[in-house]
Amino acid sequence: EMIRLALLSAILASASAFAPMSGLPSLARSAKPAMSVKMQGSDMSASVPFLKRPVNLDGSLAGDVGFDPLGFSDVFDLRVLREAELKHGRFAMLAVLGFIVQEFYTFPFFPKMAPVDAHDYFVTQGGGSQIIFWISFVELFSVVALFETIQGKREAGDYAFDPLNLATDEVTLARYREAEIKHARLAMIAIGGFIHQFWVTKQTVFEQLG
């Protein structure tokens, strides 16, 4: 009996796929209650559905999915947090690229070694002080930019850097901002994974994939 009911259900489901077009308006009307249910649940976080959406994360920023389980957005200025997130994310994207490229190519005047070992080697050779110097130099400009952001003179992370003129209009700019923050977050996770994976396995990324 159960098999017959299952077959009957399958037949009815298949037949509904070939229903006439006149049935579409009723489907559209039936979708309205679902929309209202979604609106009622909008006070919950989209990324962590069982947590309340943080009050300050209202969706106005690119990539905002209501993820702030530790409540940083309730304590710190959201523009400062976004500036820091973009800065770390951009460095992480460069780090991921450098980490992978170094597995395949090394300048002739540098010794060939794994990226993590290269970091330790160049710190002992004085590279660490150079990194600190140049990062400090960059930070001087970023502090000035951060004050402008707090004063409302610029968007967080916006240095008007678009040499290829990719953001030709506001719609395109919004799409690139969304893409950047997604790639930045992925890169921050990726570079941490690359380094810890090497510490555990003593293998580089492609060595482990192979």
163-194 per-position pLDDT tens digit: 998 888 899 999 999 999 999 999 999 999 99
Average pLDDT over residues 151-160: 88
* Least confident interval from 18-27, 77-86, 113-122: 18-27
pLDDT: which is higher, 126 or 26: 126
- How many Å from the N-terminal Cα to the C-terminal Cα in the chain? 52
Give me the pLDDT at residue 87, please. 92
Average pLDDT over residues 78-103: 93
| Core vs surface per residue 89-116: b (16+ CB within 10 A) or e | bbbbbebbeebeebeeeeeeeeeeebbb
Give the model's confidence band at 210: pLDDT under 50 very low, under 70 low, under 90 confident, else very high.
Answer: confident
Between CA 63 and CA 60 the distance in angstroms is 9
Which tokens is 62 given?
A: 């690119």
Between CA 193 and CA 200 the distance in angstroms is 10
Q: What is the pLDDT of residues 97-106, one digit of tens each?
A: 999 998 888 8
Average pLDDT, the chain: 79
Average pLDDT over residues 51-73: 90
pTM: 0.72
Give me the pLDDT at residue 42, please. 65
Torsions phi, psi for 62 (to 5 deg): -60, 135
Residue 87: which of 2, 156, 164 has the closest Cα?
156
pLDDT for residue 9 is more than 90: no
Q: Is 84 within 8 Å of 187 (Cβ atoms)?
A: no
Average pLDDT over residues 15-24: 37
Average pLDDT over residues 81-101: 94
Percent over 70 (pLDDT), the chain = 80
